Chains A and B, each alone.
Chain A
Amino acid sequence: MHDPPAIAIHSVRKAFSSLVAVDDVSFAVEPGEIFGLLGPNGAGKTTLLRLIMDIFRPDAGSVEIMGRRPSDEDKNHIGYLPEERGLYTRQRVLPLVEYFARLKGLSERQARVNALGWLEKMEMISVKDRKIQELSKGNQQKIQFIATVVSEPQILILDEPFTGLDPVNARSLITVIRELSATGKTIVLSTHQMSLVESLCRRVFMIHKGKQVLYGDLEQIRREYSDHAVLVRSEADYNLCPWVVKFASDGRGKKIFLKNGAAPRDLLAWLLETGAEVESFERAITPLEDIFIKLVEGKH
């Protein structure tokens, strides 16, 4: 039997006075996937996340967690890392992490074991007795992440988890997120770093001005938004090619726009026939960042 989605949003609407933050939005996050939630600032992402967390209740529509309405018990199975750090700055690291674990229903002993385990794993054990305010921004962000995962919840909602992290720490956090996904955890990743979404997520949802603008398989979306073109690094004279409409220089070579009905393999065959040296040949897929900007600017 097919498992219900980890998170399902059905035609949800949420307004604050006259401002409609989320308007008739629907999507589903499958168990065990890393799902990208995208949108410019003020698009309604955080409201959506708070609706999933049952911090806000929808004005219309419904939210389902594991196929049912969110309950108090579900709060124990969802870890939430908010965009802005939320830590007691005057408290020491270990008791703080233990406290967040206990709020998720863990026993005192289990909270201690998990807290020490995660501090060790994230190489933060040496600061366990330090106050939060004494830590760097990057380390505070790591503590915030530990506080989110310490209870080992089934669903993780990560809103800009890489804020303040240097490239080394960002990379180690990516590894941890992949490991968590490999163990079956469902992860919703909200970030503006499109390259991270491309490397981590299989499916994405994009919201703009409270409305859905993009939803589905990332590769398919990128293909849909790509030009009928290839990127080629070669010295060939494209003016002579019957399949080419136009071409332009690109940082990685030349972007060749093909005629309708022509396939990339037709261009490749022509290049080989002419005996031109070909250093690289690839389909010109539009980066997610370009799609994002195109959609946001197009909607303005």
Chain B
Amino acid sequence: MKKIWVIARREFLVTVTRKAYILTVLGMPVLFGGIFALSFLTRGTMEKAFGASEPIAVIDRAGLLDFTLLQKIPKETQKEKDADLFKEPSVRKASSMIPYQDLDQALEEVKAGRLSSVFLIERDYLATGRIVAYSPEKGMFSDLAPPDRGRLFDLIRISLIKDQVDSQTRDRILSPGNLLQKKVTKQGQVQSAGDPLQKAGKFFGPFSMFLLLTISIFLSSGYLLQGIAEEKQNRVIEVILSSVRPTQLLLGKILGLGAAGLLQVVLYVGLLFVPAVTVFALFKVSLTSLLFSLVYYVLGYLLFAGLMAGTGILGNSPQESGQLSALWTLTSMIPMFMLAPISEAPDSWLARGLSYFPLTAPVTMLLRLSTSQVPVIDVMISIVLLVVGIYFSIKGAAKIFRAGSLMYGKRPSIPEIWRWLKEA
């Protein structure tokens, strides 16, 4: 234990005093700040790209539109409101709508950039429903339908029925309902779905933890790979293995470099997400969620650190080791590709299976915890299997370390690695 501590302390101190480490810690916030600043400065360009800031022209050859009804249509339709949670408000802002008679003139205005698009309602619209939309050539977004078609359709609807229904019915046609969501629990109790902030918090709390976990895995495994590759290259590993067992070396490295990686994450939280505590409070993230997030964060790190260290020793260079370890990184990301099915059915066989499989368990459980009450038995099984996975990953890495750390020039074959793992 004493030797593990000696190694961990050295790894931590050497890493956190490295120029590269300090530059990364200081440089990343600058980079992120730069990206945010750039995105802020280019907002106008985005609006222009989506044609939201310039008015649109409508040529009504069917003669059915009543433009005076435009004021009855809300600036944002209900459909847009529902989808608005993750959208940039500036991009969704509706453009004004101007009636035009002459198509050529309207197209000239589009060309000059004074109109964002032109809608031509054909004479035979009632029979065919045909509307032609003209929008300017704008690279990859040119083929997207103009964004303000929803308001035009609303205008068409109420123009068509204006003489047949009263104003209340017209409003309901435009906005059919304001949903009040309720949940029926497994015990049959009816509960309020909670306010949007709470809902967002339940997702964003664990999801932020997931992001931190991912960052930590990448950073710490990067240090592990670099450190191990360096020691293999400059032959220090042979001297160290004459003083300590491979397992001690591995554990010391995992703890020391893990601590350095965690420190970096903590610093980012401090620098980039300064209001993290406020955000958690605002989103009313439950303590249980945070606690479990932390448990899966630590277990996930230990599992991947073992795997990365074992894989790192197999390569002949940091680049080669990095390529090999991508196998684990990609596997850990599988739940992210299954985000929708897991969120929709958190107790399905898919979600449970991924929760039990150690490589995917941390991310899957974080997602499940954010969407539902996970049965205690699932949490227990998942944690036990993760701990078993950690044991085998570190034990296996130590065996690979013993055999592979002094192997130069040639990458071992799969049967060779298998033989090392079977050796006592």
Residues of chain A at the chain B interface (Cβ within 8 Å) = 17, 50, 53, 55-57, 72, 75-76, 78, 80, 82, 84-89, 91, 99-100, 102-105, 147
Contacts and interface: CB of A to CB of B under 8 A. Distances in A.
Counting chain A CB atoms within 10 Å of each CB, which of B3, B6, B239, B244 scores highest? Answer: B239
Contact of B242 (A53, A85, A87, A91): A53
Nearest to B245: A72
B242 A55 contact: yes
Contacts of A91: 14
Nearest to B6: A102
B3 A105 contact: yes
A29 B237 CA distance: 26
A99 B239 contact: no
A105 B402 CA distance: 21
Contacts of B22: none
Contacts of A78: 242
Contact of B239 (A17, A72, A100): A100
B416 interface: yes
Interface string B399-423: 0001000100000000010000001
Contacts of A72: 245
B234 A17 contact: no
Contacts of A103: 3, 6-7, 240, 243-244
Contact of B2 (A50, A80, A105): A105
A87 B234 contact: yes
B416 A55 contact: no
Given A87-B236, A102-B6, A103-B7, 6 more contacts: A76-B243, A82-B239, A87-B234, A91-B14, A103-B3, A103-B6
Contact of A55 (B2, B3, B236, B402): B402
B413 to A, nearest CB: 9
B243 A104 contact: yes
Measured as residues with beta carbon below 8 angstroms from the partner, the interface class of chain B is: 20 to 34
Contacts of B406: 50, 55
Contacts of A87: 234, 236, 239
A86 B234 contact: yes
A147 B239 contact: yes
Nearest to A95: B10
B235 interface: yes
Nearest to A52: B242
Nearest to A159: B238
Contacts of A104: 243
Contacts of A56: 402
Contacts of A80: 238-239, 242
Contacts of A82: 235, 238-239, 242
Interface in B223-256: 234-245
Contact of A84 (B3, B235, B241, B244): B235
Query: Top 3 nearest A-B pairs by Cβ distance?
Result: A86-B235, A80-B242, A103-B243
Interface in B272-309: none
A85 B416 contact: no
A57 B242 CA distance: 13
24 contacts: A17-B416, A53-B242, A55-B238, A55-B242, A55-B402, A56-B402, A72-B245, A75-B242, A78-B242, A82-B235, A82-B238, A82-B239, A82-B242, A84-B238, A86-B237, A86-B240, A87-B239, A88-B14, A91-B14, A99-B10, A103-B240, A103-B243, A104-B243, A147-B239
A6 B367 CA distance: 59
A82 B238 CA distance: 7
Contacts of A55: 238, 241-242, 402, 406
Contacts of B14: 88, 91
Nearest to B18: A90
B6 to A, nearest CB: 5
A88 B234 contact: yes
